[in-house]
Structure 1
Protein backbone atom coordinates (compact mmCIF):
# COMPACT_ATOMS: atom_id res chain seq x y z
CA UNK A 1 0.00 0.00 0.00
CA UNK A 2 1.31 3.48 -0.82
CA UNK A 3 2.15 5.60 2.23
CA UNK A 4 -0.38 8.28 1.25
CA UNK A 5 -3.07 5.61 1.21
CA UNK A 6 -2.02 4.28 4.63
CA UNK A 7 -2.34 7.77 6.11
CA UNK A 8 -5.68 8.36 4.38
CA UNK A 9 -7.15 5.07 5.62
CA UNK A 10 -5.80 5.36 9.15
CA UNK A 11 -8.40 5.64 11.88
CA UNK A 12 -9.09 4.06 15.25
CA UNK A 13 -10.91 0.73 14.86
CA UNK A 14 -12.94 -0.49 17.82
CA UNK A 15 -14.38 -3.81 16.61
CA UNK A 16 -12.62 -6.84 15.16
CA UNK A 17 -13.32 -10.29 13.76
CA UNK A 18 -12.70 -12.59 16.76
CA UNK A 19 -12.44 -15.62 14.47
CA UNK A 20 -9.39 -14.29 12.60
CA UNK A 21 -6.19 -14.24 14.66
CA UNK A 22 -3.29 -12.08 13.55
CA UNK A 23 -0.66 -14.39 11.99
CA UNK A 24 2.59 -14.67 13.99
CA UNK A 25 4.64 -13.29 11.12
CA UNK A 26 2.50 -10.13 11.08
CA UNK A 27 2.78 -9.74 14.85
CA UNK A 28 6.54 -9.92 14.49
CA UNK A 29 6.51 -7.39 11.64
CA UNK A 30 4.31 -4.95 13.56
CA UNK A 31 6.54 -5.07 16.63
CA UNK A 32 9.81 -4.85 14.67
CA UNK A 33 8.57 -1.81 12.76
CA UNK A 34 7.86 -0.13 16.09
CA UNK A 35 11.46 -0.67 17.10
CA UNK A 36 12.51 1.49 14.13
CA UNK A 37 11.08 4.59 15.83
CA UNK A 38 13.41 7.49 16.70
CA UNK A 39 14.47 8.00 20.30
CA UNK A 40 16.45 10.72 22.06
CA UNK A 41 20.12 9.72 22.23
CA UNK A 42 19.05 6.44 20.63
CA UNK A 43 18.11 5.51 24.20
CA UNK A 44 15.30 3.16 23.10
CA UNK A 45 13.82 3.27 26.57
CA UNK A 46 10.72 1.32 25.69
CA UNK A 47 9.30 -2.17 26.09
CA UNK A 48 6.23 -3.83 24.62
CA UNK A 49 4.01 -6.46 26.21
CA UNK A 50 2.46 -8.56 23.41
CA UNK A 51 -0.72 -10.42 24.31
CA UNK A 52 -1.99 -12.80 21.64
CA UNK A 53 -3.13 -15.79 23.71
CA UNK A 54 -6.83 -15.74 24.69
CA UNK A 55 -6.06 -16.26 28.39
CA UNK A 56 -3.61 -13.36 28.43
CA UNK A 57 -6.05 -11.04 26.68
CA UNK A 58 -8.84 -12.01 29.05
CA UNK A 59 -6.58 -11.34 32.01
CA UNK A 60 -5.70 -7.94 30.55
CA UNK A 61 -9.34 -6.93 30.23
CA UNK A 62 -10.26 -8.33 33.65
CA UNK A 63 -7.68 -6.17 35.42
CA UNK A 64 -7.95 -2.97 33.34
CA UNK A 65 -11.57 -2.55 32.26
CA UNK A 66 -13.70 -0.20 34.31
CA UNK A 67 -16.55 -2.17 35.96
CA UNK A 68 -19.13 0.40 34.82
CA UNK A 69 -18.31 0.10 31.11
CA UNK A 70 -21.33 0.37 28.87
CA UNK A 71 -22.76 -2.93 27.62
CA UNK A 72 -22.44 -2.97 23.84
CA UNK A 73 -20.21 0.10 23.96
CA UNK A 74 -16.79 0.64 22.43
CA UNK A 75 -14.87 -1.03 25.23
CA UNK A 76 -16.90 -4.21 25.05
CA UNK A 77 -16.38 -4.30 21.28
CA UNK A 78 -12.64 -3.78 21.74
CA UNK A 79 -12.49 -7.09 23.57
CA UNK A 80 -12.85 -8.82 20.20
CA UNK A 81 -9.28 -7.79 19.27
CA UNK A 82 -7.08 -10.89 18.84
CA UNK A 83 -3.92 -8.93 19.61
CA UNK A 84 -3.06 -6.41 22.33
CA UNK A 85 0.27 -4.60 22.54
CA UNK A 86 0.98 -2.55 25.65
CA UNK A 87 3.62 0.14 25.06
CA UNK A 88 5.70 0.99 28.12
CA UNK A 89 8.36 3.66 28.65
CA UNK A 90 11.34 3.56 30.99
CA UNK A 91 12.55 6.98 32.14
CA UNK A 92 15.63 5.61 33.88
CA UNK A 93 17.05 4.38 30.55
CA UNK A 94 17.05 7.98 29.30
CA UNK A 95 18.55 9.41 32.48
CA UNK A 96 21.29 6.77 32.33
CA UNK A 97 21.95 7.40 28.64
CA UNK A 98 22.25 11.17 29.09
CA UNK A 99 24.59 10.73 32.04
CA UNK A 100 27.10 9.08 29.69
CA UNK A 101 30.25 10.90 28.61
CA UNK A 102 28.98 12.14 25.22
CA UNK A 103 25.95 13.79 26.86
CA UNK A 104 27.29 14.70 30.28
CA UNK A 105 24.08 15.21 32.25
CA UNK A 106 25.51 13.37 35.22
CA UNK A 107 23.17 15.12 37.64
CA UNK A 108 20.25 13.23 36.01
CA UNK A 109 18.16 16.37 36.49
CA UNK A 110 14.76 15.85 34.85
CA UNK A 111 14.29 19.62 34.49
CA UNK A 112 16.73 19.45 31.56
CA UNK A 113 14.05 17.69 29.57
CA UNK A 114 11.44 20.04 28.01
CA UNK A 115 8.99 17.14 27.76
CA UNK A 116 9.17 13.48 28.88
CA UNK A 117 10.86 12.12 25.76
CA UNK A 118 10.64 8.58 27.16
CA UNK A 119 6.87 8.81 26.72
CA UNK A 120 7.04 10.71 23.41
CA UNK A 121 9.40 8.18 21.84
CA UNK A 122 7.30 5.26 23.03
CA UNK A 123 4.31 6.96 21.40
CA UNK A 124 6.29 7.24 18.15
CA UNK A 125 6.95 3.50 18.29
CA UNK A 126 3.26 2.77 18.90
CA UNK A 127 2.33 4.95 15.92
CA UNK A 128 4.65 2.98 13.65
CA UNK A 129 2.99 -0.23 14.85
CA UNK A 130 -0.43 1.30 14.24
CA UNK A 131 0.50 2.36 10.69
CA UNK A 132 2.05 -1.04 9.98
CA UNK A 133 -1.22 -2.70 10.97
CA UNK A 134 -3.11 -0.45 8.54
CA UNK A 135 -0.60 -1.21 5.79
CA UNK A 136 -1.18 -4.94 6.32
CA UNK A 137 -4.95 -4.63 5.99
CA UNK A 138 -5.58 -4.74 9.73
CA UNK A 139 -7.40 -2.39 12.05
CA UNK A 140 -5.93 -0.88 15.20
CA UNK A 141 -6.81 1.47 18.04
CA UNK A 142 -4.59 3.29 20.55
CA UNK A 143 -6.00 3.88 24.02
CA UNK A 144 -4.90 4.13 27.63
CA UNK A 145 -5.12 2.15 30.83
CA UNK A 146 -7.14 3.95 33.55
CA UNK A 147 -4.63 5.20 36.14
CA UNK A 148 -6.46 3.47 39.01
CA UNK A 149 -6.04 0.16 37.15
CA UNK A 150 -2.31 0.39 36.53
CA UNK A 151 -1.28 -1.26 39.83
CA UNK A 152 -3.51 -4.26 39.05
CA UNK A 153 -2.10 -4.41 35.53
CA UNK A 154 1.46 -4.38 36.85
CA UNK A 155 0.71 -7.13 39.35
CA UNK A 156 -1.10 -9.33 36.84
CA UNK A 157 1.71 -9.27 34.28
CA UNK A 158 4.76 -8.80 36.53
CA UNK A 159 5.63 -5.39 35.07
CA UNK A 160 8.55 -3.75 36.94
CA UNK A 161 7.88 -0.40 38.61
CA UNK A 162 10.23 1.53 36.30
CA UNK A 163 8.07 0.77 33.27
CA UNK A 164 5.15 3.12 32.69
CA UNK A 165 2.28 2.06 30.38
CA UNK A 166 1.99 4.91 27.87
CA UNK A 167 -0.80 3.31 25.88
CA UNK A 168 -2.26 0.16 24.38
CA UNK A 169 -2.81 -0.97 20.79
CA UNK A 170 -5.62 -3.34 19.94
CA UNK A 171 -5.03 -5.01 16.57
CA UNK A 172 -7.08 -7.32 14.39
CA UNK A 173 -9.05 -7.76 11.20
CA UNK A 174 -11.53 -4.95 11.24
CA UNK A 175 -15.27 -5.16 11.11
CA UNK A 176 -17.36 -2.32 9.75
CA UNK A 177 -17.79 -0.97 13.24
CA UNK A 178 -19.70 2.10 14.27
CA UNK A 179 -17.94 5.36 13.55
CA UNK A 180 -16.90 7.23 16.64
CA UNK A 181 -19.17 10.23 17.36
CA UNK A 182 -15.97 12.24 17.70
CA UNK A 183 -15.40 11.96 13.94
CA UNK A 184 -18.42 14.22 13.41
CA UNK A 185 -16.19 17.06 14.58
CA UNK A 186 -14.21 16.77 11.36
CA UNK A 187 -10.61 17.86 10.88
CA UNK A 188 -9.68 21.33 12.07
CA UNK A 189 -8.85 23.66 9.17
CA UNK A 190 -5.19 23.64 8.18
CA UNK A 191 -4.85 27.42 8.54
CA UNK A 192 -6.10 27.12 12.11
CA UNK A 193 -3.39 24.72 13.24
CA UNK A 194 -0.43 25.30 10.87
CA UNK A 195 1.52 28.54 11.19
CA UNK A 196 4.24 29.60 8.74
CA UNK A 197 6.92 32.04 9.84
CA UNK A 198 5.03 33.35 12.87
CA UNK A 199 1.91 32.52 14.83
CA UNK A 200 -1.16 33.66 12.96
CA UNK A 201 -4.35 34.22 15.00
CA UNK A 202 -7.42 32.32 13.86
CA UNK A 203 -9.82 34.39 11.77
CA UNK A 204 -12.81 35.70 13.69
CA UNK A 205 -16.18 34.27 12.78
Structure 2
Protein backbone atom coordinates (compact mmCIF):
# COMPACT_ATOMS: atom_id res chain seq x y z
CA UNK A 1 0.00 0.00 0.00
CA UNK A 2 1.21 3.53 -0.68
CA UNK A 3 1.64 5.92 2.26
CA UNK A 4 -1.28 8.11 1.21
CA UNK A 5 -3.52 5.06 0.93
CA UNK A 6 -2.38 3.77 4.33
CA UNK A 7 -3.23 7.14 5.89
CA UNK A 8 -6.66 7.10 4.28
CA UNK A 9 -7.31 3.44 5.18
CA UNK A 10 -6.37 3.57 8.85
CA UNK A 11 -9.35 3.34 11.17
CA UNK A 12 -9.97 2.20 14.72
CA UNK A 13 -10.63 -1.51 14.73
CA UNK A 14 -12.36 -3.09 17.72
CA UNK A 15 -13.28 -6.54 16.34
CA UNK A 16 -10.55 -8.89 15.15
CA UNK A 17 -10.29 -12.27 13.44
CA UNK A 18 -8.53 -15.15 15.18
CA UNK A 19 -5.67 -14.99 12.67
CA UNK A 20 -2.32 -14.24 14.34
CA UNK A 21 -0.24 -11.32 13.11
CA UNK A 22 3.18 -12.61 11.92
CA UNK A 23 6.21 -11.58 13.96
CA UNK A 24 7.66 -9.84 10.90
CA UNK A 25 4.58 -7.60 10.68
CA UNK A 26 4.65 -6.85 14.41
CA UNK A 27 8.35 -5.99 14.16
CA UNK A 28 7.70 -3.59 11.28
CA UNK A 29 4.92 -1.89 13.25
CA UNK A 30 7.20 -1.59 16.27
CA UNK A 31 10.03 -0.26 14.11
CA UNK A 32 7.71 2.50 12.90
CA UNK A 33 7.15 3.51 16.52
CA UNK A 34 10.85 3.33 17.29
CA UNK A 35 11.60 5.63 14.35
CA UNK A 36 9.03 8.27 15.35
CA UNK A 37 10.36 11.76 16.00
CA UNK A 38 10.70 13.05 19.54
CA UNK A 39 11.84 16.25 21.23
CA UNK A 40 15.66 16.46 21.10
CA UNK A 41 15.65 12.81 19.97
CA UNK A 42 14.56 11.89 23.50
CA UNK A 43 12.83 8.62 22.49
CA UNK A 44 10.94 8.36 25.80
CA UNK A 45 9.11 5.14 25.00
CA UNK A 46 9.38 1.44 25.56
CA UNK A 47 7.04 -0.99 23.80
CA UNK A 48 5.84 -4.24 25.35
CA UNK A 49 4.33 -6.66 22.83
CA UNK A 50 1.74 -9.06 24.20
CA UNK A 51 0.38 -12.03 22.22
CA UNK A 52 -0.60 -14.45 25.00
CA UNK A 53 -4.43 -14.62 25.22
CA UNK A 54 -4.58 -14.81 29.03
CA UNK A 55 -2.25 -11.82 29.30
CA UNK A 56 -4.32 -9.85 26.75
CA UNK A 57 -7.47 -10.53 28.80
CA UNK A 58 -5.77 -9.21 31.95
CA UNK A 59 -4.33 -6.22 30.07
CA UNK A 60 -7.80 -5.25 28.85
CA UNK A 61 -8.74 -4.56 32.49
CA UNK A 62 -6.60 -1.41 32.67
CA UNK A 63 -9.45 0.74 31.37
CA UNK A 64 -13.16 0.34 30.69
CA UNK A 65 -12.68 1.19 27.01
CA UNK A 66 -9.96 -1.39 26.42
CA UNK A 67 -12.11 -4.52 26.05
CA UNK A 68 -11.00 -4.88 22.41
CA UNK A 69 -7.49 -5.68 23.66
CA UNK A 70 -8.74 -9.03 25.03
CA UNK A 71 -9.92 -10.08 21.55
CA UNK A 72 -6.93 -8.83 19.54
CA UNK A 73 -4.16 -10.99 18.10
CA UNK A 74 -1.65 -8.79 19.92
CA UNK A 75 -1.34 -5.60 21.90
CA UNK A 76 1.44 -3.06 22.06
CA UNK A 77 1.77 -1.42 25.45
CA UNK A 78 3.40 1.99 25.23
CA UNK A 79 5.29 2.55 28.47
CA UNK A 80 6.98 5.81 29.42
CA UNK A 81 8.90 7.38 32.28
CA UNK A 82 6.92 9.41 34.82
CA UNK A 83 7.57 13.14 34.57
CA UNK A 84 7.88 15.64 37.40
CA UNK A 85 6.96 18.84 35.57
CA UNK A 86 4.18 19.91 33.20
CA UNK A 87 6.51 20.94 30.37
CA UNK A 88 8.19 17.53 30.17
CA UNK A 89 4.83 15.79 30.54
CA UNK A 90 3.41 17.77 27.63
CA UNK A 91 6.43 16.93 25.47
CA UNK A 92 6.18 13.29 26.51
CA UNK A 93 2.56 12.89 25.46
CA UNK A 94 3.15 14.67 22.16
CA UNK A 95 6.06 12.32 21.40
CA UNK A 96 4.08 9.24 22.47
CA UNK A 97 1.26 10.34 20.17
CA UNK A 98 3.66 10.51 17.26
CA UNK A 99 5.00 7.02 17.98
CA UNK A 100 1.48 5.65 18.37
CA UNK A 101 0.27 7.15 15.12
CA UNK A 102 3.36 5.96 13.24
CA UNK A 103 2.55 2.42 14.39
CA UNK A 104 -1.10 2.68 13.33
CA UNK A 105 -0.16 3.85 9.83
CA UNK A 106 2.52 1.16 9.48
CA UNK A 107 -0.06 -1.44 10.53
CA UNK A 108 -2.60 -0.12 8.00
CA UNK A 109 0.07 -0.35 5.31
CA UNK A 110 0.23 -4.09 6.09
CA UNK A 111 -3.55 -4.51 6.17
CA UNK A 112 -3.43 -4.89 9.95
CA UNK A 113 -5.97 -3.07 12.09
CA UNK A 114 -5.29 -1.23 15.34
CA UNK A 115 -7.41 0.25 18.09
CA UNK A 116 -6.06 2.60 20.70
CA UNK A 117 -6.95 2.71 24.37
CA UNK A 118 -5.99 4.67 27.43
CA UNK A 119 -4.79 3.08 30.65
CA UNK A 120 -6.25 4.03 34.02
CA UNK A 121 -5.40 1.15 36.37
CA UNK A 122 -1.63 1.41 36.61
CA UNK A 123 -1.40 -1.29 39.30
CA UNK A 124 -3.08 -3.78 36.95
CA UNK A 125 -0.83 -2.63 34.10
CA UNK A 126 2.32 -3.11 36.18
CA UNK A 127 1.15 -6.53 37.38
CA UNK A 128 0.53 -7.71 33.80
CA UNK A 129 3.51 -6.10 32.09
CA UNK A 130 6.16 -5.94 34.82
CA UNK A 131 7.51 -2.50 33.91
CA UNK A 132 9.81 -0.86 36.48
CA UNK A 133 8.98 1.78 39.06
CA UNK A 134 9.15 5.30 37.71
CA UNK A 135 7.28 4.26 34.55
CA UNK A 136 3.61 4.06 33.57
CA UNK A 137 1.46 2.55 30.86
CA UNK A 138 0.53 5.51 28.68
CA UNK A 139 -1.45 3.85 25.89
CA UNK A 140 -2.39 0.51 24.41
CA UNK A 141 -2.74 -0.50 20.79
CA UNK A 142 -4.75 -3.60 20.01
CA UNK A 143 -3.43 -5.22 16.84
CA UNK A 144 -5.02 -7.74 14.49
CA UNK A 145 -6.86 -8.36 11.26
CA UNK A 146 -10.25 -6.62 11.13
CA UNK A 147 -13.19 -9.02 11.54
CA UNK A 148 -15.80 -6.75 9.95
CA UNK A 149 -14.09 -5.73 6.71
CA UNK A 150 -10.53 -5.41 5.40
CA UNK A 151 -8.81 -2.05 5.55
CA UNK A 152 -9.28 -0.01 2.40
CA UNK A 153 -9.32 3.66 1.50
CA UNK A 154 -12.23 5.35 3.26
CA UNK A 155 -13.98 7.37 0.57
CA UNK A 156 -16.67 9.00 2.74
CA UNK A 157 -14.82 9.98 5.87
CA UNK A 158 -16.85 11.03 8.92
CA UNK A 159 -14.82 14.17 9.56
CA UNK A 160 -15.45 17.89 9.57
CA UNK A 161 -15.09 19.38 6.08
CA UNK A 162 -11.58 20.40 5.01
CA UNK A 163 -12.52 24.09 4.56
CA UNK A 164 -14.03 24.16 8.04
CA UNK A 165 -10.88 22.78 9.64
CA UNK A 166 -8.13 24.52 7.65
CA UNK A 167 -7.48 28.23 8.14
CA UNK A 168 -4.86 30.02 6.06
CA UNK A 169 -2.94 32.89 7.60
CA UNK A 170 -5.54 33.60 10.28
CA UNK A 171 -8.57 31.95 11.81
Q: Give yes or no for TM over 0.5.
A: yes
| Alpha-carbon displacement from aligned partner over 1:47-69 (angstroms, at most 9, x marks no partner) | 111101223213313x4254xxx
Query: Partner of 1:32 in structure 2?
Result: 31
Normalised to the residue count of structure 2, the TM-score between the two structures is 0.84
Matches within 5 A, 1:133-172: 133-145=107-119, 147=120, 149-172=121-144
CA RMSD in angstroms, aligned pairs only = 2.5
CA distance in 2, matches of 1:121, 1:21: 29
Query: Partner of 1:90 in structure 2?
Result: 81
1:30 and 1:129 in contact (8 A); partners too: yes
Q: How far does residue 34 in structure 1 lie from its aligned partner after superposition?
A: 0.8
Mean alpha-carbon deviation: is it higher for 74-83 or for 189-198?
74-83
1:45 and 1:91 in contact (8 A); partners too: no
| Alpha-carbon displacement from aligned partner over 1:73-127 (angstroms, at most 9, x marks no partner) | x8555522010001122255xxxxxxxxxxxxxxxx836x386111111111111
Larger Rg: 1
Q: Given the alignment, which residue of 156, 164, 167 partners 1:192?
A: 164
Matches within 5 A, 1:25-174: 25-61=24-60, 63-64=61-62, 66=64, 76=67, 78-91=69-82, 110=85, 113=87, 116-145=90-119, 147=120, 149-174=121-146
**Equivalent residue of 2:128, what SS?**
helix
Q: How far does residue 185 in structure 1 lie from its aligned partner after superposition?
A: 9.4
Gaps of 5+ in 2: 150-155
Gaps of 5+ in 1: 67-73, 93-108, 178-183, 200-205
Query: Partner of 1:103 in structure 2?
Result: none
**Equivalent residue of 2:36, what SS?**
coil
CA distance in 1, matches of 2:137, 2:76: 10
Normalised to the residue count of structure 1, the TM-score between the two structures is 0.71
CA distance in 2, matches of 1:5, 1:194: 21
